[in-house]
Amino acid sequence: MNESLLRKNIREIKAYVPGKTISGLIKLASNENPFGPSPKALEAIKKETSNLHIYPDQSSNKLREALSNKFSLPAECFVCGNGSDDIMQVLAASYINQGDEVIISKNTFSVYELVSKIYDGNAVFVDLKEFAVDLGAISSAITSKTKIIFLTNPNNPTGTIFTAGEFDSFMKNIPENIIVVVDEAYAEFVESKDYPDVLKYIKQGRNVIALRTFSKFYGLAGIRIGYGIGPKELLAPLFKVKMPFNVNRLAQAAAVAALDDKKFLEKTFKNNAEGKKYFYSEFDKLEIDYKKTEANFIFVNLKRPAEEFAKSMVEKGVIIRSLQSFGLPQAIRVSIGLPAQNKKFVSLLK
Ligand SMILES: Cc1ncc(COP(=O)(O)O)c(C=O)c1O
């Protein structure tokens, strides 16, 4: 293939590196729900299969109604996607002009960079500060060309959050012509009382979009469904740009049912809260350097080559994530699993 045929920005793109899945092994690599899918979602999927010959609702209206009730915002303030990364792409396609700057934290989820480059935006990277998103440095990186700022809260892969107070101060300096995207893929796991209320800004009509997903807390990573929340004027163009039937019937039905699966969601939250405490106490005993997490994974700074470590773990039956592809070659990310899975990881670590 002749490289020169490719658009310039596409030549620079590195392919997304997913967590590995190997049958029979314990997977603590992709922050999936260790209990599997929500049982209510599974039931809804089975029911929906008899309608598979009919196109899905192009706007996922039932789901948007359910989200509207959950968040007390009009249904027009929600857009659904084939995973939240689909919404990132549609957002970039809707708003990025060639040469627009997109501010992204370094060492974070790579899809922000991917979608920015696909649409000829210039990704501007800002260092993390002590492995956390540095809102001050991000503010300082704003120029007249800035179009979008991607923030991740809790941050992947470090599990840290920026607080409500920090976000409020940050928002005071954001000009109206910049879109602030807050990726809250792990919001449902947060225990801190200082987690920002991004919806407050959406209600004020600011150019802010929160991204959420059913892939993590709700256990539906494999069916692909996520959503964006934003002022309806900001979201309206996304409905023109997205592919008409981007969210399939099974995903829509599953998501509506999962939102309502109280028992499953409580179990998921409790397991995660207990799992992280277990990891903290074991890591403390081993004097391992880690970050306290508000998500369903823990960042461990191994201070030795992570890729080799991850390989040796796979040989022993546990898949964790080396953060080499995140630009952190000496660190790993471990998803919080079931107690026996966590224990197995710790025993290998020892
Ligand atoms: C921060 C962050 N955002 C978004 C996603 C992707 O979510 P989805 O499965 O909804 O595309 C992930 C998945 O790992 C993530 O870590």
Domain 40-259 -> CATH class: alpha beta
- Please state which of the four CATH numbers 3.30.70.360, 3.90.1150.10, 3.30.200.20, 3.40.50.2300 is assigned to the domain occupying 3-30+262-349: 3.90.1150.10
Give 43-99 as a DSSP string: HHHHHHGGGTTSPPPTT-HHHHHHHHHHHTS-GGGEEEESSHHHHHHHHHHHHPPTT
What average pLDDT does the structure give for the chain?
96
Q: How confident is the model at residue 3 (pLDDT cuts 50, 70, 90)?
A: confident
Question: pLDDT tens across 274-290, in order?
Answer: 999 999 999 999 999 99
Q: What is the pLDDT of residue 1?
A: 64
Domain boundaries, the chain: 3-30+262-349, 40-259
Out of 79, 183, 294, 296, give the residue to mutate to test ligand 1, the one with the largest number of ligand atoms within 8 Å of its CB. Answer: 183
The DSSP 8-state label assigned to residue 207 in this structure reads: S
Is 70 exceeded by the pLDDT of residue 153?
yes
Mapped onto helix, strand or coil, the DSSP state of residue 256 is helix
In terms of DSSP bridges, do strands 26-27 and 318-319 run parallel, antiparallel, or are they unpaired? parallel
CB-defined site of ligand 1, < 6 Å: 31, 83-85, 109, 152, 156, 183, 185, 213, 215, 221, 226
Q: In which element (H, E) is residue 257 found?
A: helix 249-259
Q: What is the pLDDT of residue 65?
A: 98
Residue 94 to residue 238: CA distance in whole angstroms: 6
Question: pLDDT tens across 186-209, in order?
Answer: 999 999 999 999 999 999 999 999
